Amino acid sequence: MIPAFAVGRTQEIVYRLDELTNEGRLPPIPVYVDSPLAVNVTDVFRRHPECYDAELLAYMAKDPDPFGFARLTYIRDVEDSKRLNASRLPMVIISASGMAEAGRILHHLRNNVEDPKNT
């Protein structure tokens, strides 16, 4: 579980996980972005590459979608969000809010923080 701000931080984390995936350094586990606002903001980021820094633009020469990879799923629906907690399989959940004071991350923490296998 990664608490992340919906604007900027989530997109940076997804980009870095995309890099790790392309380098073969991320185990083949699913990654979920579980925040409707973060999903919407990522859509805005994708539409405005003119705002990217030089590092991201250079990276895009190798990978045209730094905010998407095979095991990444964006979740908007609350029922899909709740279903994540029923799974016992390894996964990464990136969810708002970044300070873990509100949002869907609270639901994930409540359901998973007691399990010593979770971080």
Q: What's the CATH code of the domain at 91?
A: 3.40.50.10890
Alpha-carbon span 80 to 44, nearest angstrom: 22
Q: What is the pLDDT along the chain (119 residues), one digit of tens a residue?
A: 999 999 999 999 999 999 999 999 999 999 999 999 999 999 999 999 999 999 999 999 999 999 999 999 999 999 999 999 988 899 999 998 888 887 888 888 888 888 888 87
Residue 7 lies in a domain: yes
Residue 67 lies in a domain: yes
Question: Sheet of 31-34: strands edge to edge?
Answer: 2-3, 92-95, 31-34, 72-75
Residue 83 lies in a domain: yes
Residue 118 lies in a domain: no
Residue 94 lies in a domain: yes
Residues in the chain: 119
Task: Report whether 34 contacts 107 (CB < 8 A).
Answer: no
Range of the domain at 61: 2-98+106-112
Number of CB atoms found within 10 A of residue 118's CB:
14
Residue 117 lies in a domain: no
Residue 35 lies in a domain: yes
b/e per residue, 50-61, with b = 16+ CB within 10 A? eeeeeebeebee
pTM: 0.91
Task: Report whether 70 contacts 30 (CB < 8 A).
Answer: no
Report the domain count for the chain: 1
Residue 91 lies in a domain: yes
Distance of CA 79 to the CA centre of its chain: 18
